[in-house]
Structure 1
């Protein structure tokens, strides 16, 4: 992590389950009442990284806690650390706990850490989200701040890069350390080892320790490895990827009970297999189906595949195919060829109560990783996928 009357009747629950309510309260203040994100096209330009000795450019950015922040809000800090980071980036996620630990260790020493997301949602592809449950928009930043329990402000700069264009982060994460006069004294990496547990932000700590002790930073500039900044003008590749996706063919094959059982055993692949059983007459099925395409695009380049099974009657093949073509579902699509729907139910999962939609995630040996009757909570499903041992959030 979408008038009434006739539409409500049409899409009233296909089964007996009710969908989990979406969580809407995030943080202590209602950011939606004060700030609504509005990513804008930005003209392409050369972006240089702020040079050592330069003054910190001011900004006014919305935080995920419902407040707006500028440099003045951190005036009491002896040292100010700005970390440009991102929800989706594997490298940034690998450093999350180190950033939190740094903020905890140095908060009482007069050091203020502030995280800024520089990325524009306009410049980010579904295919770049394969290591995350979230994208880089403002709402998902609120979710990450809340669920990861960030102990520092997390600011959004995805509308027009107002701050990021002045600081020039080349990747996420990218650190900028300013002294009491807000002169840049260090810029670069947190440390040189991405894998969690192998380092503890030594480069950042050494720079800050030097400033607190009144010394010069020995190595004021380091290279920073990570995900490239997603500037708003980076759309050409997005268009190409979208064209390639739309060019993939959509087909619908018939499948019998034995074929369904074989799918459920998942012995013919080395991937997590997500299966959704749906029907054209099931309102919730139709409404949520496009989100499964998003999952395929997010995780399809990794050890993951999505398969659909239509529970429409065999005589409704053309109708089911027309829906899949309209949605554009270029995955393995099947339609059950039997007249006894309960044979399909038992073949998919004996614990399924037969209500549609039904979704199940299987490991390569057929082990059930996650299952859900009724509409899916896609945030929970994304986490079940990306946090599985076959996947993971970083390299």
Structure 2
């Protein structure tokens, strides 16, 4: 699971020093990036597989077709295509056909919010876990450290498919198919499948090149962008307002497009302070999705300034997306200080099952149904998984 512990901008600036020797062109492509054209030979590679073996191009010799499938662990388009990819590999398993998947991404090239559709990081360890969790039986190689193979093959996005013939000459370059959704009925042009079927039949590939669509390859040179976005995030001011039991009752009913994680806390509560980085990491991860972290402080009104300073230090703030959603409700913040004198009224408004101590958290869906509740510190992996189960790990088709 990917929960970012936010680093200060100065530390992030230091982190880019090791890659400052690399350049990125006007199109965002790094030095050494090569576009392969139809008829070009497959470049050799030497990459570790998640099965502990080292692979080169020669390990896939002897078949009439080689499919090189670039994919990562974070991209909702890749997640949406996964079922069709697994079916694709199974359908051709008895043919003279080889399939290898390669992860081209470098973790440092992603913003925290770009992990908002996944349980995994873009690392070798999580690539292994990802493939095992989804039952992959084909080789899955990791190129994220040096990204030499991704540059040599011209990987623009995940997913990106390149199909080579028996002589390992390129015969197809582009998308897997034309849908970003899981539902196979949304596919109108199964381009990779059409290319393999044509080659196996000894026919020309009907469409040799298409535009890959999905998530752009996350080059390590991109971490300058990540640093700049982090600096913007650090500049946002935290806000806090007073709230009573009636206001909490309205928040609890929800009725918005957002899943809400409501946390009861106080600056004087040690476990509250300890768990706060997990809460704000979750909020940052899902900051471009339909999600809202709402904090309710039990500090005294005289300590409102102290609570605001704590919220600012730990980045309990609103993204542009969340701010628009909050303002559309007639609200101005996602952080509150409870001003009521009766704690039973607070419990009745938020969750009658709350026994009283803090911290206490409740995760509710768009209709106000409880997805998760926790007395004491949350389990961030469980909470993140519940959010993903509700919001989905892939793109969803727009409602008609």
TM range (shorter): 0.7 to 0.9
Moved more, 143-152 or 224-233: 143-152
- Secondary structure of 1:95's match? helix
Contact 1:186/1:220 (8 A) holds in 2: yes
Structure 1 unaligned regions, length at least 5:
3-37
- Secondary structure of 2:84's match? helix
TM-score by length of structure 1 reads 0.80
Aligned equivalents of 1:76 and 1:376: distance in 2?
52
Contact 1:98/1:200 (8 A) holds in 2: no
Q: Which of 49, 61, 86 is the matching residue for 1:75?
A: 61
Aligned equivalents of 1:306 and 1:168: distance in 2?
39
Aligned equivalents of 1:327 and 1:70: distance in 2?
46
1:140 lines up with 2:141 in the alignment: no
- Secondary structure of 1:107's match? coil
Contact 2:79/2:393 (8 A) holds in 1: no
Name the count of aligned residue pairs.
358
Question: In the TM superposition, what are the counterparts of 1:23-172 in structure 2 within 5 Å?
Answer: 41=19, 43-44=22-23, 45-46=30-31, 47-172=33-158
In structure 2, the partner of 1:271 is 258
Aligned equivalents of 1:113 and 1:178: distance in 2?
10
Question: In the TM superposition, what are the counterparts of 1:243-392 in structure 2 within 5 Å?
Answer: 243-267=231-255, 269-312=256-299, 314=301, 316-331=303-318, 332-338=334-340, 341=343, 343-388=345-390
- Secondary structure of 1:258's match? helix
Aligned equivalents of 2:143 and 2:388: distance in 1?
26
Structure 2 unaligned regions, length at least 5:
3-15, 24-29, 319-333
> CA RMSD, aligned part only?
2.9
Q: CA deviation at 1:394?
A: 1.0
Q: CA deviation at 1:307?
A: 0.7
- Secondary structure of 1:305's match? strand
Relative to 1, partners in 2 of residues 1:225 and 1:295: Cα closer, same or farther, differing over 3 Å? same
Moved more, 218-227 or 310-319: 310-319
Relative to 1, partners in 2 of residues 1:283 and 1:57: Cα closer, same or farther, differing over 3 Å? farther
Q: CA deviation at 1:316?
A: 4.6
Aligned equivalents of 2:53 and 2:18: distance in 1?
21
In structure 2, the partner of 1:394 is 395
Aligned equivalents of 2:18 and 2:194: distance in 1?
38
- Secondary structure of 2:337's match? strand
Write out per-residue CA displacement over residues 14-58 of structure 1, whole angstroms, 9 at most, x where no aligned residue: xxxxxxxxxxxxxxxxxxxxxxxx996261235232222222222
Aligned equivalents of 1:39 and 1:106: distance in 2?
45
